[in-house]
Copies of this chain bind each other. A is one copy, B any other.
Amino acid sequence: MVKISQNLIRRMPKYMRVMGELQEAGITRVSSAELGRILGFTASQIRQDFSCFGEFGLQGYGYNVEHLREEIGKILGTDRGYTAVIVGCGSIGQALINNFNFVDHGIDLIAGFDVNPERIGTVMNHVPILDISEMGKFIKAHNVTVAVLAVPKAVALKTANDLIEYGIDAFWNFTNVDVVPPYSNVIVENVHLSDSLLVLSYQKANNE
């Protein structure tokens, strides 16, 4: 198979999103030209992108929306039954528990962990909040795929190291701490809100 560039990987979720919207709108087929119009990409790029993973279209017809969506889902791993826990249930953790639809991404959010006794034992949006001291046992018992790291900066590194010890090898990292360097087989996706806001500031400052 061809080399999958970082740029291409970041475009895949966008294809996924559009396929969902088309499906909801009851549209059953779509051409690369139409997809290009929707996303602001060239038709060429879209066909090139898909061809890196297989042949999903039909000459003279285009792409079947449902089928393409399924295939992209397989590529992105949304069909794998992944599970997640949120570590740190402060305001960021709670915002994710209450607002982010993990199920839509094929991920089952099975628990939150915190140190605050007022939170421990509660249930937020069907997710039980457990004592962080039980985390090791829980993770070993439940085959957890992803740890959502939303703890305070000061304990980010220590918590990440603990999680790695418990067998976690994929982090969705909301702390502004680089938690990865030496562990090359640990996957970290950083959510750098800072970078995002600074890009906006740049655009504003250089708009005219």
Partner-B contacts on A (CB < 8 A): 4, 9-10, 12-14, 16-17, 75-78, 80, 82, 90-92, 94-95, 98-100, 102, 104-107, 145-146, 169-172, 185, 187, 189, 191-207
Contacts and interface: CB of A to CB of B under 8 A. Distances in A.
Given A80-B201, A91-B94, 4 more contacts: A4-B206, A91-B95, A170-B203, A189-B200
22 contacts: A4-B206, A9-B202, A13-B199, A14-B195, A17-B194, A17-B195, A75-B205, A76-B198, A76-B205, A77-B205, A91-B94, A95-B95, A105-B198, A145-B204, A146-B201, A169-B204, A170-B200, A170-B203, A172-B196, A172-B200, A189-B203, A191-B193
Contacts of A14: 195
Given A13-B194, A17-B194, A197-B105, A187 B203 contact: yes
Contacts of A107: 197, 201
Contacts of A200: 146, 170-172, 187, 189
B201 A105 contact: yes
A14 B192 CA distance: 10
A207 B90 CA distance: 31
The 5 closest A-B pairs by CB, nearest first: A77-B205, A189-B200, A13-B198, A13-B195, A91-B95
A170 to B, nearest CB: 5
A77 B201 contact: yes
Given A92-B99, A199-B9, A170 B204 contact: yes
Nearest to A10: B199
A205 B146 CA distance: 12
A154 to B, nearest CB: 13
A93 to B, nearest CB: 9
A77 B13 contact: no
Contacts of A172: 196-197, 200
